[in-house]
């Protein structure tokens, strides 16, 4: 592919500059690997007294996935606030304004294993994790005043994880994030993406219900989108075949990427419909092997050192 190219994202007015030569820059600072000692890990089964359980999924009289209270939530329930459709705002003259942000923030312990991710273990562990996401989304979106449920995962210090034991998080919010609003169109752009990218050189993997692509204007090297072929508004609307199809994609893709890059840091985020709205549910994966700097933070124009077509080829070779 060409050494330098600018592309516009299919969905938003985001521009990405692909500059392969920048990948050759010297990097002197290396991130220190950090592993939480088992004896101090609150997510290990033997330290169960350190957490407050909300829900769990069991197999053979042992839990496989557990939802717990987050001791350090970004939002918290505020019973005293009466919800009024977003009108409960506080104005500070002359033009400053703020309002309380109630919500719910839980930690999902993905697996009993201190080191192994679900995709490095038994297939059913990933299915259990998806089932927990479905159950907690269904419960949290029904809470008074909540409009959106965000599911995300941080792996590695660089990606924001403070504990190394595999875990993810789920947050119910009283507003809809701007990115979800910007991705919502009158006609579904994601249905069009699935249609066109299934035939492109950016397709990485496909099964009966999902397709995995390296998006046309990827912001991160090896960024991937996991898209259901059917128009599904949120994770709770997946049928059994789609649930197992997503688990299959996760089990195929992540080990392949680890064979390619080693134990790489990443974030993933599920994009789904706000309460009462339509959307095309999907999972986005952001490997954190490069750092955003002044250009990205100051202008929201992103620099990517890996063309998505090249990323797709490299991942496919390791499947």
One-character DSSP codes across 222-242: T-EEEEESS--SSGGG--HHH
H helix intervals, 117-201:
123-140, 178-183, 189-197
User: Can you say how many angstroms the Cα of residue 281 is from the centroid of all Cα atoms in its chain?
Assistant: 12
**Rounded Cα–Cα distance for residues 116 and 142 (Å):** 33
- What pLDDT is stored for residue 175 in this prediction? 87
Mean pLDDT of 7-30: 68
Please check whether residue 234 is in contact with residue 243, taking contact to mean a CB–CB distance below 8 angstroms.
no
What is the Cα Rg of the chain in Å? 20
224-228 and 282-287 as β-strands: parallel, antiparallel, unpaired? antiparallel
Domains of the chain, earliest start first? 36-77+88-175 (3.30.428.10), 179-319 (3.30.428.10)
Whether the pLDDT of residue 84 is over 50: the answer is no
Cβ-based neighbours of 198, under 8 Å, separated by 6 or more: 206, 211
Task: Return all residues near 8 (Cβ < 8 A) that are at least 6 apart.
Answer: 14, 15, 16, 217
Is 2 a residue whose pLDDT tops 60? no
pTM exceeding 0.95:
no
pLDDT of 85 strictly over 70: no
Q: Return the higher-pLDDT residue of 13 and 238.
A: 238
Phi, psi of 60 (to 5 degrees): 60, 40
Average pLDDT in the 79-85 region? 50
Distance CA 55, CA 134 (A): 12
124-153 b/e (C-beta count within 10 Å ≥ 16 → b): ebbbbbbbbbbbbbebbbeeebbbbbbbeb
Q: Is the C-alpha dihedral spanning 140, 145, 149, 150 positive or negative? A: negative
Rounded average pLDDT over 5-9: 81
């Amino acid at each position: 592919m060409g050494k330098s190219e600018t592309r516009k994202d299919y969905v938003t007015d985001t521009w990405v500059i692909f500059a392969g030569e920048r990948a050759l820059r010297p990097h002197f600072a290396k991130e220190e690997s950090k592993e939480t000692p088992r004896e101090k890990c609150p997510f290990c089964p033997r330290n169960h007294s350190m957490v407050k359980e909300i829900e769990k999924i069991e197999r053979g009289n042992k839990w496989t996935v557990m939802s717990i209270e987050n001791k350090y939530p970004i939002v918290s329930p505020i019973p005293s606030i009466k919800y009024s459709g977003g009108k409960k705002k506080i104005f500070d003259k002359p033009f400053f304004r703020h309002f309380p942000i109630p919500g719910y923030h839980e930690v999902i312990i993905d697996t009993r294993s201190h080191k192994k991710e679900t995709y490095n273990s038994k297939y059913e562990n990933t299915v259990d994790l998806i089932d927990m996401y479905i159950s907690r989304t269904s419960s949290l979106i029904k809470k008074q005043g909540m409009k959106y449920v965000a599911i995300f995962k941080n792996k590695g210090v660089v990606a924001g994880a403070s504990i190394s034991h595999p875990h993810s998080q789920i947050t119910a919010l009283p507003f809809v994030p701007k990115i979800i609003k910007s991705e919502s169109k009158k006609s579904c752009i994601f249905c069009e993406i699935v249609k066109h990218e299934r035939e492109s050189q950016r397709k990485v993997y496909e099964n009966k219900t999902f397709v995995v692509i390296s998006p046309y204007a990827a912001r991160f090297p090896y960024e991937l989108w996991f898209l259901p072929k059917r128009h599904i508004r949120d994770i709770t609307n997946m049928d059994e075949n789609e649930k197992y199809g997503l688990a299959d994609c996760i089990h195929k893709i992540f080990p392949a990427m680890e064979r390619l890059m080693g134990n790489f840091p990443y974030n993933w985020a599920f994009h789904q419909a706000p309460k009462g709205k339509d959307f095309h549910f999907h999972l986005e994966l952001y490997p954190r092997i490069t750092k955003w700097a002044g250009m990205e933070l100051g202008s929201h124009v992103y620099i990517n050192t890996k063309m998505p077509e090249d990323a797709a080829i490299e991942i496919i070779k390791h499947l």
